[in-house]
Every structure is written in structure tokens, then in C-alpha cells.
Amino acid sequence: MASLNKKRRTYGEHLTPVQIFKEFILPEIKDNLYNYTWVDLFAGEGNLILPILELIPENERVEFFKKHIFLFEIQKELVEKAIQNAVKYGIPKGIAAQNILQRDTIKNYPKFLLNLDLPIYHITNPPYLYIGYIVKHKETQKYLEYFQGINEGYQDMTTYKYSNSEYTRKYLGLSQVKKLIQTFPWLKLTDEERTYLKDLIKNKNVNELISFVEKKKAV
């Protein structure tokens, strides 16, 4: 458990259960599955995108996956799990590996997405890393570079969240991203998260934003 918590702090990962997708997100998108390219830049095991395949006829799933689904994840083991999950939906492993890629999308945005035929629908639960933890631990100090340049001055914000805000300002104006669903694994939004959402709302290219905040029961 200690190693799991350390890994979670190092990568800021908060994986979203499939049930969250099915209960809250799928009803919002089920009538438009063929109209978008479904992308998660911080995909984890693929739980916010891959269940879409359940609604696609089995004889169409491979072609749908090739054209409509792109997942990115920084951790190799989670990429492998996402590929395994795609295989469970009937996607051949080799094809799954072409569209589920290991990549640090903060440092290396997948610009080929800008050239796709369909508009992008980004569904994600971006990872969070706290600046106080980053500074104190060698394994996370490499993330300090995310706070340079356009990111400078946001030392009290989490690395991935702020960098995702940079992604919003820098790339959404150039890309075909038209819709965004994002989950927040917190009881309530912080001031920084409200600021981040305001940045999203100001972006004229995003015509719909849906955010989910997990409410945890008191113990």
C-alpha cells in the first residue's frame, strides 16, 4: 500500500472507475459516437474511452477504434493495461497498440491530432501533483520544468492541472477540440480549479464543457 501511495503521488494518478463513465458520461455522448474522435491525453487504463466500444457492433469495432479512439499515457504499465482492456473489447493487440501510446502529453503534445478528419472530444481525468511534494522529492523534481515559461507564477497549483491549463490556452485554439469532459476526484473544487475551469470557459473553440466532482461520504 505504501508503494502504491508513493507511485500515486509521483505520477499524480487518480484512475477513474468504468462505472463512473457508464453512469455519468456515456448518457451525454451515446448519440454522437460516430461524430467525434475520442481522445484521452491522460488515459490511465482507458476507462473513460474504451467502454464506448460496448455500444459499437462487434463487426464494426476494429474500424471504429482505428478511426475514432486515441489514448495517451505516461506510464508504460498503464499503457499495457489499456491495450489489454481494448483486446477484451475485440480489438487485436497490434491495432490497439497503434492508437494507445506511451507519451508525456504535457511535454510532447500529439500534434497529429490536429490533422484528423473529425473534431476531437476530449474525456479525461488529468493527474495531479502538488508543488510542495515535487520540490521535496528527487523523483518528482523533473516536473518543475512544467512551471517555467508560460506556467511560471502558478507555484501553488498542481503540475498536471496547470500544465493542462497551458494545453488549453496553447493548443485548443489551434486544434479541433470542440468538447471536453473532465473529472475532479475531490469533494469540492479549490480556487485554483475554479480558475482552471474559467480558463476553459473563456476558450471560444470549446462549445461544451462538462465537469464531474466526486463527492465522498464522510467516514
The tens-digit pLDDT sequence of the chain (219 residues) is 445 455 544 444 556 778 888 988 899 899 999 999 999 988 999 999 999 999 999 999 999 999 999 999 988 999 999 999 999 999 999 999 999 999 988 778 888 888 889 988 888 877 665 555 566 666 666 666 665 555 555 444 444 444 444 555 444 443 455 566 666 554 455 665 566 566 656 655 555 555 555 554 443
Looking at residue 39, what is its pLDDT? 93
Sheet strands side by side (includes 208-213):
100-102, 69-73, 37-40, 120-124, 177-184, 208-213
- At 211 the three-state DSSP class reads strand
- CATH number given to 2-213: 3.40.50
Q: Is 0.75 surpassed by the pTM of this model?
A: no
- Per-domain residue ranges for the chain? 2-213
pLDDT value at residue 80:
98
